[in-house]
Homo-oligomer: A and B are copies of this chain.
Amino acid sequence: MIKKIAILTSGGDAPGMNCAIRSVTRFAAYKKLDIAGISRGFGGLIDGEIQDLSSRSVSNIISRGGTILKTARSKEFLEKKFREKAYQNLIQNKIDALIIIGGNGSFKGASVFNQEFNFPVVGIPGTIDNDVSGTQRTLGFDTAVNTAMDVIDKIKDTATSMDRIFFIEVMGRSSGFIAAYSALAGGAEDIIIPTKAPDVAEIVRKIEQGRIKGKRSWIIIVAEGVGETSVLVEKFGQFISDVRVTVIGHIQRGGSPSAFDRFLGAVMGKVAVEALLDNKTQHAIGWVNDQAIVYPLKDAVQSRKEDLTYLHEMIHILT
């Protein structure tokens, strides 16, 4: 029977992680469970950086970006001997189950750990990239898209005022979700995403046609997964003038979480604890059809593949 749960955040930080930590902690307290927080992800687990959490520990964190537990990517956790050490730390702290908030990479580590030691694990998908298989939304994606959209809105002021072409690089690793959603929301003219090599000549042609018709500014969103944005943009610069680049970078990882991400964090945190109490011990929490689901962790380890062609077409039609 589960009496004590530990929670950690792993991989890149994402807005809403704190909301999930709060929800796990308070719902666990409500269920009379003990709860521990592990610092710096798997690294902190290996190093034994484990502290008890109470309902009070998670006061006033709902509106804060980042993660109060800190997060990291641990290379050590790839090695069996360190996972063994991690396991020993859990046992010594009388921890019966582990809730992990992170992306695919973290879920992969969690899955290996679960199988190796038969240790109960539940994963909450926390990443701005929205690229976890089996869930329609990950924690942090909505905030990141809103942040990227705000940047597009701002850049558009200069692009329009100065008749310029802007390339804006957004995050998303190998996925194009942030690029497609923020471009559609921000009214950008085009996107370049990893799944489809950009037709430079075609884009240049459209920009030139636009200029002839009087449309003199243009915003193109580039997903980081495409590769070297600056190299790509140089290519464009050979054919068209007044080209600029902005790399949003870590700006889109921070900030107070949006209402949806706070909501999602609250619901997923609660359902994660319920799943453990319901003996689901190698599972992930997803958001499908407007509600939380519990599904096998192994199905969440993969990157989500989704064809974004229809969004790509909409962006072309609507601008």
Contacts and interface: CB of A to CB of B under 8 A. Distances in A.
A157 B255 contact: yes
A154 B66 CA distance: 9
A52 B122 CA distance: 42
B166 A250 contact: yes
A153 B250 CA distance: 11
Contacts of A70: 160-163
A98 interface: no
Interface in A252-304: 253-256, 258-260, 262-263, 266-267, 270, 288-290
Contacts of A162: 12-13, 70-72
Interface stretch (A140-148, A190-198, A200-208): A140-148
Contacts of A142: 259-260
A318 B23 contact: yes
Interface residues of A, number: 70
Contacts of A249: 244-247
24 contacts: A12-B162, A27-B317, A27-B318, A40-B163, A62-B186, A66-B157, A66-B158, A67-B161, A70-B162, A70-B163, A71-B162, A146-B258, A149-B262, A158-B250, A181-B259, A184-B266, A185-B260, A185-B263, A185-B266, A187-B262, A244-B250, A246-B250, A267-B314, A270-B318
Interface string A236-249: 00000000111111
Contacts of A174: none
A26 interface: yes
A184 B161 CA distance: 24
Nearest to A29: B317
A80 to B, nearest CB: 25
Given A249-B246, A258-B258, A318-B26, A154 B147 contact: yes
A151 interface: yes
A64 interface: yes
Interface in A144-178: 145-147, 149, 151, 153-158, 160-163, 166
A30 interface: yes
Contacts of A158: 12-13, 65-66, 250, 253-254
A22 interface: yes
Contacts of A40: 163
Contacts of A149: 259, 262
A295 to B, nearest CB: 15
A136 interface: yes
